[in-house]
């Protein structure tokens, strides 16, 4: 594939790009093969130009947030990362608008500083705002759909449009963006006034729960499986005797069975083999079909 126009856009905007770039350090699982070309747009305009150029030239592309819910192997195409986009946000009364590449936890802290409540349950999720909306991230009884008001996006025709929350099809770990391929540029969240001390206490309490119950000391994609209706994935996995089970460097966490961790040197094949084994055993023993929560990408 010809990436000269992609490189030209990067050069014009002065943003980082590299050919044959290893993606391992760009994911929280610390696993990743190479992509043909990796680019870090440093402005929204640069991001828009890169996505539109890839579309026009028929180049496969993948927009990468903080890589916190992603298992990626080889990607034959261009990976466009949002990590170098401007990290600022704006507030207007009870609403906060943040760029897609901004850390979700950073916005939670900004809301705390403004004494705005509604994001406490999202604090500690290691993802970007755009990624969180893409998958309707959530924890401890709350989700993005509870607070999102609208989002600015690049649609399939290369136009920047604003889509209201009602049109996003937000449901459990799902949004319309996984269907239409639109690129999220910024997200506006509507919160409610609260007491700063109370907000902070809840954030601290939920963060401590994460530290106590989740294997944060190991690389992972977070919860590996979605919650099956009427069940808890971690309980099913543990009841099947799979807690601590490993293939290569990939292991079912001994601390929380809902997490597959990289205990050291795990490969894409290790993780996918372990995931397939877990699904097979749970299906045979419990009659429940587990579905991955993490996004698995492999374009060779």
CB atoms within 10 A of CB 138: 18
State residue 134 phi and psi, 5-degree precision. -55, -45
Please pick, among 103, 105, 223, 253, the residue that the annotation labels catalytic. 223
Distance of alpha carbon 142 from alpha carbon 131, whole angstroms: 16
Please pick, among 143, 173, 220, 257, the residue that the annotation labels catalytic. 173
Distance of alpha carbon 206 from alpha carbon 233, whole angstroms: 20
Distance of alpha carbon 122 from alpha carbon 130, whole angstroms: 13
CB 147 within 8 A of CB 141: no
Beta strands in the chain (DSSP E): 16-22, 34-40, 61-64, 70-81, 89-92, 95-99, 116-117, 138-139, 142-143, 148-154, 160-164, 183-190, 192-193, 246-247, 250-252, 260-262, 295-299
Whether residue 229 lies in the annotated active site: no
Whether residue 43 lies in the annotated active site: no
Whether residue 299 lies in the annotated active site: no
Instruction: Tell me the C-alpha to C-alpha distance, in Å, between residue 225 and each of 69, 115, 127.
Output: 11, 34, 17
Question: What six digits make up the tokens of 46?
Answer: 């640069």
Residue numbers annotated as active site:
173, 223, 293
């Amino acid at each position: 594939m010809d990436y000269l126009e992609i490189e030209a856009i990067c050069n014009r905007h002065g943003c980082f790009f590299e050919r044959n770039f290893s993606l391992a350090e760009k994911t929280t699982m610390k696993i990743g093969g190479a992509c043909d070309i990796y680019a870090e747009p440093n402005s929204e305009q640069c991001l828009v130009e890169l996505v539109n150029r890839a579309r026009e030239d028929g180049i496969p592309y993948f927009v990468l947030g903080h890589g916190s819910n992603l298992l990626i192997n080889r990607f034959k195409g261009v990976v466009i990362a949002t990590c170098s986009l401007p990290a600022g946000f704006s507030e207007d009364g009870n609403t906060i608008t943040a760029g897609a590449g901004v850390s979700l936890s950073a916005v939670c802290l900004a809301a705390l500083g403004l004494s705005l409540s509604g994001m406490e349950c999202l604090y500690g999720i290691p993802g970007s705002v755009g990624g969180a909306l893409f998958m309707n991230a959530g924890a401890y009884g709350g989700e993005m759909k509870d607070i999102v008001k609208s989002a600015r996006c690049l649609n399939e025709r290369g136009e920047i449009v604003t889509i209201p929350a009602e049109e996003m099809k937000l449901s459990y770990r799902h949004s319309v963006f996984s269907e239409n391929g639109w690129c999220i540029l910024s997200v506006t969240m509507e919160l409610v006034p609260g007491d700063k001390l109370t907000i902070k206490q809840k954030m601290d309490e939920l963060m401590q729960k994460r530290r106590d119950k989740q294997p944060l000391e190991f690389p992972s994609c977070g919860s590996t499986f979605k919650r099956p209706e009427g069940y808890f994935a971690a309980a099913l996995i543990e009841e099947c005797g799979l807690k601590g089970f490993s293939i290569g460097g990939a292991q079912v966490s001994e601390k929380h069975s809902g997490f597959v961790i990289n205990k050291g040197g795990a490969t894409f094949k290790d993780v996918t083999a372990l995931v397939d084994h877990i699904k097979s055993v749970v299906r045979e023993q419990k009659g429940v079909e587990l579905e991955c929560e993490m996004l698995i990408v492999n374009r060779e």
